[in-house]
Structure 1
Amino acid sequence: MIAPEREDGDPAARAASVTERILADTLHGTRRGVVVDSPPGAGKSTLVVRAARELVGAGERLMIVAQTNSQVDDLVKRLAEQDPELAVGRLHGSDSQPDPGVARLPAVTLSSSAGDLAQCPVVVATAAKWAFVQDVPVWRHAIVDEAYQMRSDALLKVAGLFERALFVGDPGQLDPFTVVGAEQWAGLSYDPSASAVVTLLAHNPGLPQHRLPVSWRLPATAAPLVSAAFYPYTPFRSGTGHGVRRLSFGVAGDGSAPDRALDIAAESGWGLLELPRRRTVRTDPEAVAAVATLVRRLLDRGGVTVSERGTGPLTAERVAVGTAHRDQAAAVRAALAERGVTGVTADTANRLQGREYDVTVVLHPLSGRSDATAFHLETGRLCVLTSRHRHACVVVSRAGVAELLDEHPSTEPVQLGVTVRFPDGWEANHAVLAHLAEHRVRYRP
């Protein structure tokens, strides 16, 4: 079981204490695995990089498993930034090439063959690439990043390559993706669609488990809500106190509903721009236009951010729009382009996972819908959308989402042996909506 963390005291000291225990178990433990749960922005990548450097410093070689090529490239860059002399192998597919920035790093060697990287103390690749590696010496250590987003069948394919592993991930994010139904395996300890960590712990319940207790991304205005709504049994706190981060505008608001929502979000960290209740198509034109208008006004008003990192302008690159579906994201990108907005990221929760921005604008997954499906109620989707920001998050939604939730209670079948996820999407949505209602601005386009 994960021991509860104290909520008082210096957050940096608490985080450092947990990190030291994790590293001690990783370097000196005797169990085959160590599991680390992390809330959004708690420093998963920082922990992975530090653990890798500590293992290399102890004379070990290790492999690092990530879930996407962008995650692999990011880890390689972070390793090079922290230790420019460290020889890192970037293992890639024969039909793909790493980020050009990775290729330019002097201490990084690129290859599609693991044998070419035998002299590198650290080799990094996706789980999909590691699955095809054969006829190489077994690594004594491995680090699995974003382990909760790795399916257990993917872990099975690579488990023979290493003796011990550090598994780091966020249990509150989106579950692993599968294109086929997995009902026939539900409740079984070898369910291939379950996350790597769930299956690992089902077969090895005594493995050391740790929890990073501090989010360095989420501000003090956001961490309490995200913690209570999505991590009620493993609470965390923000690494910064109230007033440390501030968002202000050089241009006063014009009194419109979008500007008032932005002013409320700048003051409280949250805003809800609520359109009239109506059932709409998925790419609701009015909601998409409202999102684009919000972003345009956000940039036009000359936002300035103040934080522990310093003071700077709010640029388009530090703003993101999150949606549930790809066609919604495409519609938002088109609407932004019509308004002359470039540089703003507009994408789905799946693609925004693991990324960080100063301000996010979210199109609520249930806005304008006539039903509440399991896809739209998935806890991890809403968690990702509401936990990407360092300063403020503004949600755009049609009115009536709370009533929609009440009209469509969960009807998912109860299956023996399946751990019930708590909170479920129904409860998490209600918790977030209740908080957003305190920061609501009604808008009639």
Structure 2
Amino acid sequence: MPKQTAIDDSAAATRKITDALRRAEHRVVIAKAPPGAGKTTTMRRVTRTLLDDGLPVVPIVVQTNAQADDLATALAAEGIRTGRFVSEGGEPEARTRAASAPGLVVDRQLSGLQGCEAIVAPADKWVYCNNPRAAAAPPHYDLALIDEAYQMRGDNLFRVANLFDRALAVGDPGQLDPFTIADTRRFEGVPLGPLETAAGTLELSYPDAPVVELPVSWRLPASAVDLVRSAFYELDFTSATDHDERELHVDRLDIGSPADAAVTTMARTGWAYLELSAAFTTRTDSGMVTAVADAATALFARNAQTRCEQNQGGIPLVGGRVAVGAAHTDQVAALRREFQQRLAAGGPAQLADVVVDTANRLQGREFDVTVVWHPLAGRRDATAFHLEAGRLCVLLSRHRHGCIVVGREGVGDLLDAHPTESNVFLNLPADCPDGWEANHAVLTHLLRHRVAG
């Protein structure tokens, strides 16, 4: 069972949020959350409290259609009459979800959501309310909840700010910044620039805003919390479980291959660093593709099973509960081809369900075990993209039981040869964490769990 202190501390943090909103002394309240802090649960509880206090409707801003569907379904399951405000593209999936969720209403117009206690939509849909060609005048609400506020761009916040008098912004400050294909150099060093996160914009605009830190990660095992917290966060948080609460067990013997040794090490300690020999390679390094696929295959070949507070009797590890993460889409494509080839050759059937994707697309998701292609493996240089702390944080914080990182020798030398070169702007807060320092901290930890590849 989760630690009682974790349950109590989490409930206390939620009360701090609702108390700050009830006092209405500030236009903004910010809640900072570590990975797996139960943000959806927090949003549900805050919404219910606000409704019980007499707020007629709670508008909720999220960042993607998938997040909107998940949250709307969760709110409806709590008995909250929920409206899913949709665009044409998001409507089919939203209606499919609503079919099995009594109390969830889907409509492209706010007029069709009259009587709903909560209305959920991505930021881009709320922006539509300010369209001069919209059929109705923009709505206005006393208070809005903004979920994943560190994934939301500042320009989208500016475009919906007139709809709400006050806001609660909830998000994970350690994740990837909002993505754009635009040239961002013109905005560097500009306070409140359009590419600043919504949460960062609110912090700069309202420096006296109450900040509540969610104190528990319900996802990360005790073996991962210390690394993730020290390398990527200024928050103080703990794991909801003790070291002996979760276990990954493998039945079949370790036959001595590097992949088997990595699985054995990960099962014992929660981490493994499968390190191949040093080499400068192309981005879709065939040796890395093979090693990553070997590690994933070994999990199923050895009949891995997990035991935790949710399944105390233990259950087999299935493909859908394993993720393979990489930095680039071409690396993901190469890994997917390798998995298909192994399936065609009679490999473990579970490989068909393994989620293989980039850090950007794995963000916000949770798995039992992850296998990670180290972003700096085989590189001659360490660019800002590959040193970005948020990318590495996402890759290393998706798991509930264990993580295998696959890399090549020489990452430490590469970091020493390419110290951070990002500009420092005197009128803006310094980036925290620094990507170069975070990579060094992670490498130091991983080398304690090294397996020669």
TM over 0.5, shorter chain: yes
Q: Measure the CA separation in 2 of the matches of 1:49 and 1:16.
A: 13
Number of the residue aligned with 1:369: 379
Q: Measure the CA separation in 2 of the matches of 1:21 and 1:413.
A: 37
1:166-245 equivalent positions in 2, closer than 5 A:
166-231=168-233, 233-245=234-246
CA contact (8 A) 2:247 2:401 kept: yes
CA-CA distance at 1:112 after TM superposition? 1.1
CA contact (8 A) 2:98 2:105 kept: no
Number of the residue aligned with 2:347: none
Q: Measure the CA separation in 1 of the matches of 2:11 and 2:44.
A: 15
CA-CA distance at 1:174 after TM superposition? 0.4
CA contact (8 A) 1:186 1:418 kept: no
CA contact (8 A) 1:147 1:197 kept: yes
2:114 corresponds, among 113, 118, 121, to 118
CA contact (8 A) 2:258 2:274 kept: yes
Q: What whole-Å deviation, never above 9, does each CA across 1:317-354 have from its counterpart, x for those lacking one?
A: 10000110111111111111111221000001011111
Number of the residue aligned with 2:52: 57
Q: Measure the CA separation in 2 of the matches of 1:258 and 1:40.
A: 27
Number of the residue aligned with 2:346: none
Number of the residue aligned with 1:337: 340
Number of the residue aligned with 2:328: 325
Q: Cα–Cα, structure 1 residues 95 and 13, in superposed 2: closer, same or farther, change >3 Å?
A: closer
CA-CA distance at 1:59 after TM superposition? 2.5
Number of the residue aligned with 2:62: 66
Q: Measure the CA separation in 1 of the matches of 2:367 and 2:239.
A: 16
CA contact (8 A) 1:228 1:235 kept: no
Secondary structure of the 2:203 match is helix
Kindly indicate whether residue 86 of structure 2 is the aligned counterpart of residue 92 of structure 1: yes
Q: Measure the CA separation in 2 of the matches of 1:236 and 1:331.
A: 37
Number of the residue aligned with 1:416: 426
CA-CA distance at 1:275 after TM superposition? 0.8
Q: Measure the CA separation in 2 of the matches of 1:370 and 1:418.
A: 31
Q: Measure the CA separation in 1 of the matches of 2:320 and 2:23.
A: 42
Secondary structure of the 2:382 match is coil
Number of the residue aligned with 1:312: 315
Q: Measure the CA separation in 1 of the matches of 2:30 and 2:433.
A: 21
Number of the residue aligned with 1:36: 31
Number of the residue aligned with 2:443: 433
Q: Cα–Cα, structure 1 residues 183 and 416, in superposed 2: closer, same or farther, change >3 Å?
A: farther
CA contact (8 A) 1:322 1:360 kept: yes
CA-CA distance at 1:303 after TM superposition? 1.1
Q: Measure the CA separation in 1 of the matches of 2:147 and 2:139.
A: 22
Identity of aligned residues (%): 46
Secondary structure of the 1:250 match is coil
CA contact (8 A) 2:73 2:104 kept: no
Q: Measure the CA separation in 2 of the matches of 1:30 and 1:412.
A: 38
Q: Measure the CA separation in 2 of the matches of 1:241 and 1:35.
A: 29
Equivalenced residues, count: 433
1:21 corresponds, among 12, 16, 21, to 16
Secondary structure of the 1:31 match is coil
Kindly indicate whether residue 71 of structure 2 is the aligned counterpart of residue 75 of structure 1: yes
Normalising to structure 1: TM-score of the pair? 0.94
Secondary structure of the 2:222 match is coil
Paired residue type of 2:165? E
Paired residue type of 1:288? V
Paired residue type of 2:109? S
* 254-263 or 100-109, larger mean C-alpha shift: 100-109
Q: Cα–Cα, structure 1 residues 106 and 14, in superposed 2: closer, same or farther, change >3 Å?
A: closer
Secondary structure of the 1:254 match is coil
Secondary structure of the 1:255 match is coil
Paired residue type of 1:329? V
Q: Measure the CA separation in 2 of the matches of 1:28 and 1:255.
A: 62
CA-CA distance at 1:160 after TM superposition? 1.0
Q: Measure the CA separation in 2 of the matches of 1:433 and 1:357.
A: 22
Secondary structure of the 1:252 match is coil
CA contact (8 A) 2:65 2:90 kept: no
CA-CA distance at 1:27 after TM superposition? 3.2
Secondary structure of the 2:223 match is coil
Paired residue type of 1:66? V
CA-CA distance at 1:9 after TM superposition? 8.6
Normalising to structure 2: TM-score of the pair? 0.93
Secondary structure of the 1:366 match is coil
Paired residue type of 1:79? L
Number of the residue aligned with 1:4: none
Q: What whole-Å deviation, never above 9, does each CA across 1:164-197 have from its counterpart, x for those lacking one?
A: 1110001111011122233333333321110111
Secondary structure of the 1:221 match is helix
Q: Measure the CA separation in 1 of the matches of 2:28 and 2:22.
A: 11
Q: Measure the CA separation in 1 of the matches of 2:191 and 2:434.
A: 22
Paired residue type of 1:37? K
Paired residue type of 2:139? P
Q: Measure the CA separation in 2 of the matches of 1:293 and 1:219.
A: 24
Paired residue type of 1:364? H
Q: Measure the CA separation in 2 of the matches of 1:44 and 1:378.
A: 24
Secondary structure of the 2:51 match is helix
CA contact (8 A) 1:215 1:236 kept: yes
Number of the residue aligned with 1:149: 151
Q: Measure the CA separation in 2 of the matches of 1:19 and 1:204.
A: 21
Number of the residue aligned with 1:286: 287
CA RMSD of aligned residues (A): 1.5
Paired residue type of 2:262? A
CA-CA distance at 1:70 after TM superposition? 0.7
